[in-house]
A and B are shown apart, each in its own frame.
Chain A
Amino acid sequence: MSEVLDFADSGATYVAKPAPSFLFRLGAALVVLSLVLMVIGPWIAPYDPNRPTFEISEPPPALVDIPGLLWKVITGAPREPIHWFGTDSTGLDVFSRVIAAPRTDVAIAVGANLASLIVGSLLGLLAGFARPWIGGSVMRISDLIQAFPVFITGMILVTLAGRSNMTIVLTLAFLYTPIYVRLTRSEVLSQRHRGFVDAARALGKSESFIALRHVLPNAMAPALIQASVTIGFAILMTAGLSFVGAGVRPPTPEWGLMIASSANELIQGEWWSSIFPGLAISVTVFGYAAFGNGLERKYGH
């Protein structure tokens, strides 16, 4: 977004920030919601996400009934637990599964990004700080990884390494590391001749101390901003891999799996069991994108 700001500074025309900060707040709220559901989702689900109920393919309550049902919930009137999003063709409660799924989707995405953020920024620091040949080879390896088609490579690695949550985390971490290497390295290159670095050097600190203590903390901003966007993409990828059968194993409550297992019913009119999990992906990933975009505007340069 630097172009936008430069344009504003040049004084040709005053440029207001193009997107309202409402978007940023919405994004932040959605990010927080997804993280909260990641922790408590399976605990607050009204039904056991993995135990079928007796109502099979029951549609969600009609829109006109919802205020009445909500009133019953608030007043605590005695009632049957409500299938807010209906039940799927095996009788599983869709709402419970949708809110239990962040434990899989969001946790995988956050874990993978945490791992690649740590490894990637350390490698980026190395690439920017160490001798040129080390930096060069780190960058060539990053290039090589990025030349692979991401989704297909993800499919191959996860399937051949044995489908489990851990292999998905490791695969995504591997595929996303070059992004962080690149971002951190270019930031390190611009930081390493700044005054505070020279000052530390003049004090006789060792190079590795300077790199870790002074340069790295100052070079993390772009990588942290990127992390928000990449977590969103990691959720898309986890759901996508599970959708084609190369990701999480059924019957784990997971958005992509839920869509895949009820895609056939969709055509016969049972829309709720695949529409709601998709809506959850759509809203969550948009939240991470909006949050990342807001961060970039606020702190990026």
Chain B
Amino acid sequence: MLNFIGKRLVVAMFQLVGLALVVFFAIRMLPADPVARLVGLNSTREVYLSSQQALGLDKPVLEQLSTYIVGIAKGDFGRSWVSGAPVMEDIRNVLPVTLELITISFILAFLISVPLGMLCALRPGGVADSATFTYSLFAGSQPEFWWGLLFIYIFFAVLGWAPPPLGRLNPMSTPPPAMTGFITIDSLLAGNMAAFRDGLHHLMLPVATKVFVLSGPIIKMIRQNMVRVLGADYILYARASGLPPWRIALMALKNALVPALTLLGVLYGYILGGAVLIETVFSLGGIGQYAVRSVLAFDYPAIQAVVLVIAAISLFVYLALDVIHAWIDPRLAS
């Protein structure tokens, strides 16, 4: 088991190093001029050159690379070229917003999708199956930013149930002291129930959008695994032994969920990188919006950090789920 984890960790480390190098060279090879972007096109040559020098872009590429690699090893991604703030600090502020949104949506989507996927698999080809399957195909192919706007229109503009889509909390209220960065957890820790409710209220529509879009692939996956497990011999045996259908279904579910773990890991990484759109629609100020801002401003240190942080988290979640998978099913580790 330790051997297995060790091997996976080594592969993940190599992948991260590879990613770091690719990001570094890719953004420097593309025909963009961050200095001109920063100082404006009408600036004099002296301003341009001094700005280039300040950003360290006048140094040879290999020297830039070594500063970058040494920085990463120390967990320091440098300072943002736009705001001058340390990039790592910015990311520490924005990342919890995204993780909170995604984790809550992920758990809710999973809780909704498991019974639906089971329902499909128990009677493949039935009316419930066709309807749910069509729904999952539909939900899995939707533009989430548009659904977010649609929900805003219905629930904020028309019905008035949701707060305006302008961030994580009511701007007039005082946010709870930041301990973990997760508003829901921080407000509970501070005993600030008003902020907790406000936080959940603001999460309502983004989470609903995300759950809707996510439920598509998850239902499909649960259904596929369930159908496969229900065809196994031990299910036939359980049926022959006269076990009630609900017990057989629960038995099958356990075995269907285990292989789903790996796919869930992939999906988590995928939506972490895809949170950009939903955060933009609701102005949540998470890492996705930070990424948009940095990319549009050609802020290289921030771009590098965002890509690496997201890739590292995805790899870590993927690895953790693989380890859990191997722990439940020891055949995998050997």
Interface residues of A (CB under 8 A from B): 1, 3-4, 6-7, 10, 12, 15-20, 23, 143-144, 147-153, 155-157, 159-162, 232-233, 236, 239-240, 243-246, 256, 259, 263, 266-269, 271, 274-275, 278, 281-282, 285-286, 288-290, 293
Main secondary structure of the interface of B (DSSP, over half): helix
B140 to chain A, nearest CB (A): 7
Asked if B114 CB lies within 8 Å of chain A CBs, one says no
B280 and A244 form a contact (CB under 8 A) = yes
Asked if B327 CB lies within 8 Å of chain A CBs, one says no
B19 and A148 form a contact (CB under 8 A) = yes
Bound-state Cα–Cα, A20 to B303, Å: 46
Q: A18-B120, A275-B153 are in contact. List 15 more A-B contacts (CB 8 A).
A: A7-B124, A7-B227, A7-B228, A148-B307, A155-B292, A155-B295, A156-B27, A161-B31, A243-B280, A244-B292, A263-B281, A266-B152, A267-B157, A281-B146, A285-B143
Select one of A23, A144, A243 contacting B277, CB under 8 A: A243
Bound-state Cα–Cα, A257 to B67, Å: 39
The interface size bin for chain B is: 35 or more
B149 and A16 form a contact (CB under 8 A) = no
Select one of A143, A152, A244, A268 contacting B273, CB under 8 A: A152
- Once A10-B231, A12-B231, A285-B141 are accepted as A-B contacts, the answer to whether A150 and B149 lie under 8 Å apart by CB is no
Select one of B19, B130, B141, B288 contacting A147, CB under 8 A: B19
Bound-state Cα–Cα, A147 to B130, Å: 34
Q: In the complex, what residue of chain B is closest to A284 when comparing beta carbons?
A: B141
Bound-state Cα–Cα, A15 to B230, Å: 12
Q: In the complex, what residue of chain A is closest to B30 when comparing beta carbons?
A: A160
Asked if B81 CB lies within 8 Å of chain A CBs, one says no
Asked if B224 CB lies within 8 Å of chain A CBs, one says yes
Select one of A268, A281, A290 contacting B143, CB under 8 A: A281
B157 to chain A, nearest CB (A): 5
Sampled A-B contacts (17; CB under 8 Å):
A18-B129, A18-B130, A19-B130, A148-B22, A150-B270, A150-B273, A151-B274, A156-B295, A160-B31, A160-B298, A161-B32, A162-B32, A233-B141, A243-B145, A244-B280, A263-B149, A290-B137
Bound-state Cα–Cα, A6 to B19, Å: 40
Bound-state Cα–Cα, A136 to B137, Å: 34
Bound-state Cα–Cα, A246 to B26, Å: 17
Interface residues of B (CB under 8 A from A): 15, 18-19, 22, 26-27, 30-32, 120, 124-125, 129-130, 133-134, 137-138, 140-143, 145-147, 149-150, 152-153, 156-157, 164, 224, 227-228, 230-231, 236, 269-270, 272-274, 276-277, 280-281, 288, 291-292, 295-296, 298, 303, 306-307, 310-311, 314-315
A278 and B149 form a contact (CB under 8 A) = yes
Bound-state Cα–Cα, A159 to B84, Å: 22
Bound-state Cα–Cα, A290 to B130, Å: 13
Select one of B18, B269, B280 contacting A149, CB under 8 A: B269
Question: A residues within 8 A CB of B270?
Answer: 149-150
Most buried by A among B15, B292, B295: B295
Main secondary structure of the interface of A (DSSP, over half): helix
B276 and A155 form a contact (CB under 8 A) = yes
Our count of residue pairs bridging A and B at CB distance below 8 angstroms stands at 171
B125 and A17 form a contact (CB under 8 A) = yes
Question: B residues within 8 A CB of A267?
Answer: 152-153, 156-157, 164
Question: B residues within 8 A CB of A23?
Answer: 134, 137
B311 and A274 form a contact (CB under 8 A) = no
Q: In the complex, what residue of chain B is closest to A275 when comparing beta carbons?
A: B150
A144 and B18 form a contact (CB under 8 A) = yes
Bound-state Cα–Cα, A79 to B147, Å: 35
Bound-state Cα–Cα, A10 to B231, Å: 8
A7 and B276 form a contact (CB under 8 A) = no
Q: In the complex, what residue of chain B is closest to A7 when comparing beta carbons?
A: B231
Most buried by B among A10, A149, A236, A239: A149
A248 to chain B, nearest CB (A): 15
Report, nearest first, the 9 A-B pairs whose CB atoms are least far apart: A149-B273, A278-B146, A16-B125, A160-B30, A289-B141, A160-B32, A3-B228, A7-B231, A285-B141
Bound-state Cα–Cα, A287 to B152, Å: 25
B141 and A232 form a contact (CB under 8 A) = yes
A151 and B296 form a contact (CB under 8 A) = no
A271 and B153 form a contact (CB under 8 A) = yes
B236 and A12 form a contact (CB under 8 A) = yes
A274 and B149 form a contact (CB under 8 A) = yes
Question: B residues within 8 A CB of A285?
Answer: 141-143
Q: In the complex, what residue of chain B is closest to A269 when comparing beta carbons?
A: B157
A286 to chain B, nearest CB (A): 5
A177 to chain B, nearest CB (A): 15
- Once A17-B125, A271-B153 are accepted as A-B contacts, the answer to whether A240 and B145 lie under 8 Å apart by CB is yes
Bound-state Cα–Cα, A149 to B291, Å: 11
B227 and A259 form a contact (CB under 8 A) = no
Q: In the complex, what residue of chain B is closest to A143 when comparing beta carbons?
A: B15
Q: In the complex, what residue of chain A is closest to B318 when comparing beta carbons?
A: A147
A4 and B227 form a contact (CB under 8 A) = yes
Q: In the complex, what residue of chain B is closest to A279 when comparing beta carbons?
A: B146
Q: In the complex, what residue of chain A is closest to B289 when comparing beta carbons?
A: A244
Bound-state Cα–Cα, A290 to B135, Å: 11
Bound-state Cα–Cα, A253 to B229, Å: 48
